[in-house]
């Protein structure tokens, strides 16, 4: 099931943006510290993401020291699951105000926004910045044309609610999600 933007959701495009994040080539085992190239902050285990095995869909896991960092890593994990972005530069920024009553709603809203932009505007985020607010969040992404990416997997279609998890434990936030392709 996918949620598309509705009332109370707004989008704004901005001008040129800086360089995007590189595709991550290595996936660590659970609990293994990140090395150079894993996650957004190479060498720091407190923040990162990876793909998980799944028979037919995309399954991602992300973690971070804050709710916002975990959501930002989830965006990177989703993009890494189907597109190589190494060397790409963002052409503009896209912003969205997203409603979310629960942590799981926030995760679904953020991932749905990435899928929505890929589907309707044919762009993918190279970086994301999340700001949590009462009743929702603001998502700002530096985006580039999807056709400039190296497509390495099926383009996602929707976030499923089955197996969705987003929580804080042992001093860090973590999430998992399954994405229909």
Domain for residue 120, yes or no? yes
Low-confidence ranges of the chain (pLDDT < 70): 1-45
- Quick check: pTM over 0.85? no
Place of tokens 């085992």: 29
Domain for residue 27, yes or no? yes
pLDDT for the residue numbered 54: 83
pLDDT tens, residue by residue, 103-156: 999 999 999 999 999 999 999 999 999 999 999 999 999 999 999 999 999 999
pLDDT for the residue numbered 33: 36
Domain for residue 4, yes or no? no
Range of the domain at 75: 10-180
Query: Of how many residues is the chain composed?
Result: 181
Number of domains, the chain? 1
Domain for residue 151, yes or no? yes
How far is residue 171 CA from its own chain's centroid? 21
Domain for residue 145, yes or no? yes
Q: What is the C-alpha to C-alpha distance for residues 140 and 12, in angstroms, rounded to an integer?
A: 9
Domain for residue 2, yes or no? no
Domain for residue 1, yes or no? no
Domain for residue 5, yes or no? no
CATH no. for residue 56?
3.55.10.10
Q: What is the dihedral of CA 20, 26, 27, 29, to 10 degrees?
A: -140
What are the start-end ranges of the H helices in the chain? 67-80, 103-120
Q: Please answer whether residues 131 and 146 qualify as being in contact, where contact means their C-beta atoms are separated by less than 8 angstroms.
A: no
Place of tokens 């996918």: 2
**Residue 150, number of CB atoms within 10 A of its CB:** 12
Q: Which residues contact 164 (CB under 8 A, 6 or more apart)?
A: 104, 107, 108, 176, 177, 178
């Amino acid at each position: 099931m996918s949620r598309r933007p509705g009332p109370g959701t707004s989008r704004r495009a901005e001008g040129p943006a800086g360089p995007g994040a590189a595709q991550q080539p290595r996936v660590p085992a659970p609990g293994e510290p990140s090395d150079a190239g894993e996650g957004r902050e190479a060498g720091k285990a407190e923040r990162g993401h990876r793909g998980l095995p799944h028979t037919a869909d995309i399954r991602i896991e992300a973690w971070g020291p804050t709710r916002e960092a975990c959501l930002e890593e989830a965006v990177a994990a989703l993009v890494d699951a189907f597109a190589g972005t190494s060397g790409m530069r963002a052409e503009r920024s896209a912003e969205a105000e997203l409603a979310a009553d629960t942590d799981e709603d926030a995760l679904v809203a953020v991932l749905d926004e990435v899928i929505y932009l890929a589907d309707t505007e044919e762009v993918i985020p190279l970086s994301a910045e999340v700001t949590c607010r009462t009743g929702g969040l603001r998502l700002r992404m530096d985006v580039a044309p999807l056709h400039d990416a190296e497509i390495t997997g099926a383009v996602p279609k929707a976030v499923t609610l089955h197996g969705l998890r987003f929580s804080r434990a042992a001093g860090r936030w973590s999430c998992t999600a399954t994405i229909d392709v």
